[in-house]
Structure 1
Amino acid sequence: MNYRKLGCSELEVSAITLRAWATGGWMWKSKDRKEAVEAIKASHDVGVTSIDTAPIYGQGASEEIVGEAIKGFSRDKVQILTKFGMRWDLEKGDFAMKSYDHNGNAIEVYKYAGKESIIYECEQSLKRLGTDYIDLYQIHWPDSTTPIDETFEAVLKLIEQGKVRFAGVCNYTASQIQQAERTLPLVSNQIPFNMVNRTVESETVSYCIDHNKSVLAYSPLERGLLTGEIHSGYEFKPGDHRASLPHFQPQFVEKTNVFLDKIKPIAEQHNASLSQLVLRWTIERPGITIALAGARNAEQAVQNANAIHINLSKEELKTIDDLVNTF
């Protein structure tokens, strides 16, 4: 595995990091706790030392599973990245969505990052994770109802108390990062980035490069679309959020698969899967520090981690880049 520092901090994380959204079952209809724990352990065995989770993922379930999985690990050999600012148990802040929890009960989710809420969320996360500190604490989404300085004054307090090591953001614009840094330094911004979704590249990624902020790319496989396993007519399980997304409609799926057929020969030359090629390309992009890759089981986790062993030549990277640019 390759390890990279976040921003100007001394925190090193694995270039391929396990994203534990599906682990919590919420919106993915994945509820096998045993498989989820095994995926985290198998991932760690092959060098993936970093795990990205959040309270909203399964309404606490994902963090609990991560906590269970890392019990046998040396705490200083694993990096826990979690979040705050999405409440399903408090009607306050920006309304985000109506949904169902991992047990099928209707819930309403709010984006809220008030000071007392953050302090409370951190305590709950620490309990679920079974640890006394969080390596990277990230606001999940911007909250327009709370001043940014209030939000990060709370995070600064947690850092001073030793409960959080470093602060990051998710889904923040360059302007919002600037505002947050009036209160404390940030090391990272977690944003969506992949071959078929590069809208953040020109402004946000460029800003992060110029200001030494690491970019944590989430959905590098576009929620499974870039694995090549999704096809027109693919049937999603009831409750799988992808069924209604624009990128999973037949026309876009077909266009994507035509593109994947063009880069597949490069994967085959390296005895690699499409998903491994996509992940390796992602962490080779300027400004992208790590790729956050989800896995439902140990096999997927190990396959994702092994993407690090693909060594792409400059010519191969240019070929892929050219195809991506004309997608």
Structure 2
Amino acid sequence: MEKRSLGKSDVQITPILMGTWQAGKKMWVGIEDADSIKTIRAAFEAGITTIDTAEVYGEGHSERIVAEALSDVRDRVEYATKVFANHLKHDQVIEACERSLTNLKTDYIDLYQIHWPSGAFSSEIVPIEETMNALTSLKEQGKIRAIGVSNFSRVQLAEASKYGRIDSLQPPYSLFWRQIEKDAVPYCVENNISILAYSPLAQGLLTGKFKPGHKFDPADNRAKNKLFQGENFERAQQALEKLRPIADRHNCTLAQLALAWLIAQPQTNAFTKGVGNAIAGARYPEQAAANALAAEVKLSAAELTEIDAIGRIVTDHFDDSPIMWNW
């Protein structure tokens, strides 16, 4: 898989990344460690070398699973992890990074990200300057190679950028969830900040496997995902039916089509190669291998426009809230 530059850093990433929220087990149902390890390894063997995790995914469990899967090929992969909103004071950032380094069994992290802005989930308000100073210090020490943020608005991204170089933004972004296009995408294009989209398959909705009437276990985070509820879910089913013929033309799955669309974003004259990238999670090895194949699906400008219009069957009915869940 051809790699892309991460922002202006010297880190190279694959446009499809392996997401490992599910490997942490918390807020997911039916996840087995052995499956997670095999799946992460399968992603690597299929060409996905960039792995995204976070300290909050099972309180470090996901990070430890990543290490178990990939420690023997550490020099051939890129680790991206995150510090949570309750650890944004200077010393807390340093301590969290050390824990992640230990969990990942490595002496450096390729991309270290602020998971949520200060104040999220009732966390203490910490000046972004303090957090960025800690991250810059870690970068100067060689413990991290690049700094990123997740779930930041354009305003928050611009404020953080005053205190250090931000090379990536990780927002929720998919064909069915596109608020980011109104807010931060133009800023990212202008400032050469890579977008690492999480939930690029709308938590599995864009695979087409969830039929009308599907009910999630209450412990599954998707039970509170707005996309799976009421009229939103019905509109998604209509859109999926319109996407199937395009997928058939390319002899690919709906999921591969959705990922191919995303890594071709944004469609602007100011397009900078590598701005749009997709973090795709998987429970099983065959899913990870299939996700990797999305990088080979090449869509024409006309097809990208057609897919864009189909996605708006769903997205035109949402407000501007960036939060995908009714938490």
Q: TM-score, structure 2 length as denominator?
A: 0.89
1:272 is paired with a residue whose SS is coil
2:171 is paired with a residue whose SS is strand
- Correspondence for 1:125: 100
- Correspondence for 1:294: 281
1:138 is paired with a residue whose SS is strand
- Correspondence for 2:320: none
More strand by share: 1
- Specify which of 172, 179, 184 is matched with residue 152 of structure 2: 172
- 5 Å matches for 1:171-250? 171-250=151-230
Quick one: distance in 1 between partners of 2:276 and 2:76? 19
Return 5+ residue gaps in structure 2 as ranges.
Answer: 120-124, 315-327
Q: Does 2:79 align with 1:80?
A: yes
Quick one: distance in 1 between partners of 2:102 and 2:129? 26
- 5 Å matches for 1:1-327? 1-73=1-73, 75-86=74-85, 111-144=86-119, 145-286=125-266, 288-327=275-314
Q: Do the aligned partners of 1:60 and 1:128 also contact (CA within 8 Å) in 2?
A: yes
Quick one: distance in 2 between partners of 1:132 and 1:320? 42
1:70 is paired with a residue whose SS is helix
1:254 is paired with a residue whose SS is helix
The one-letter amino acid paired with 1:164 is: I
Residues 178 and 250 of structure 1, relative CA distance in 2, 3 Å threshold? closer
The one-letter amino acid paired with 2:246 is: I
Could you report, residue by residue, the CA deviation over 1:208-230 in whole angstroms, capped at 9, with x for unpaired residues?
11111111111111111111111
Could you report, residue by residue, the CA deviation over 1:163-190 in whole angstroms, capped at 9, with x for unpaired residues?
1111011111222222222221111111
Q: Which runs of 4+ in 1 moved over 3 A?
A: none
2:110 is paired with a residue whose SS is strand
Quick one: distance in 2 between partners of 1:56 and 1:176? 21
Quick one: distance in 1 between partners of 2:208 and 2:141? 46
Identical positions, percent:
42
Shift of residue 85, structure 1, vs aligned partner: 2.2
The one-letter amino acid paired with 1:121 is: A
Could you report, residue by residue, the CA deviation over 1:233-288 in whole angstroms, capped at 9, with x for unpaired residues?
21323411111222111422121011110011111111111001000001111164
Q: Do the aligned partners of 1:67 and 1:129 also contact (CA within 8 Å) in 2?
A: yes
Select between 271-280 and 316-325 the one with higher mean Cα deviation.
316-325
Q: TM-score, structure 1 length as denominator?
A: 0.89
Q: Do the aligned partners of 2:196 and 2:277 also contact (CA within 8 Å) in 1?
A: yes
The one-letter amino acid paired with 1:325 is: R
- Correspondence for 2:122: none
Select between 146-155 and 174-183 the one with higher mean Cα deviation.
174-183
The one-letter amino acid paired with 1:133 is: Y
Aligned length: 302
Quick one: distance in 2 between partners of 1:189 and 1:153? 18
Kindly report the root-mean-square deviation, in angstroms, between the aligned alpha carbons of the 2 structures: 1.4
Quick one: distance in 2 between partners of 1:326 and 1:226? 13
